[in-house]
A and B are shown apart, each in its own frame.
Chain A
């Protein structure tokens, strides 16, 4: 799993790898170079100079606005083990821009429904609307200006769109892994239609009764019968939930 800079920083952080030094000047250089390519009709990237302080980076898109101290961004890249070359910082910046907040209009126009963690402790999951931006899958948080009815419409449309996400089945012994190869974080889009999943399993002559689903957003997920699913889940150190089939059909929004 990668972080907002597209590195495996969190996982590799356990290893004694020396961090690159990334200074504000290099980040400012990369912003000036990359911004024209990353900007769009709605997305505006600017550097705001401040007297006596480090410059601020401003990202504006529709109702969303992000401001961050450039020095803080450089420090975050160092902590995430971004490679200190121009290429490394440019890739990290593009990934960070990809993780910017999703606007209400984007969610409404292109949102997909996938499962995500509903609490900081990663103990329960629920549906969330996401937008795919290249390799990045960014989560939508409705702005304060959106009416509840509009939120409901966006969510429903996202679930309908999720039916079109290609999620492949990989049979491994008594377990079936469901993966969206193009973007693994979209794998749980398949759970929008449990009925269709059962149909696909039965077409392959695979068991469809007493199934449990092991879900670990944003990773691919697994279907298996009780003891096999339990063995899979018990031996994992990473956050996951094991759901009985009826719970899948009753998942709420997170």
Chain B
């Protein structure tokens, strides 16, 4: 089985990485120049990417990795922004605390964390993690940034 897979695997021409707003791929920069140079079907990518990112809030910057094959076909994977991005956005801050553990950059409620966890669960590589596990991981990241998580925000 594995041998057959290797034989039929298409030769890769390039790997392209870029950031595209969820639901907002257009045949214009950054997508146009990046994909156009490898003669990839721009419109098909846009349609596919936009359809697959409908579940994310519009304009969320998605990390896209495209594998362009030598026959001009392609595959791509999509990742939502990092947890740190979501935390900073929720807290309305540009950067975390310079001294996490000593200086609090901001405070968020468990509800914020839960909302972030729900979005991150959409990411393919996290699908096997329980919501609880993802939530714990996010709280850990928040603490390392100097963002305090409380039960409720008054």
The answer on A and B forming one complex is: no
Chain B: residues with CB nearer than 8 A to chain A?
Answer: none
Chain A: residues with CB nearer than 8 A to chain B?
Answer: none
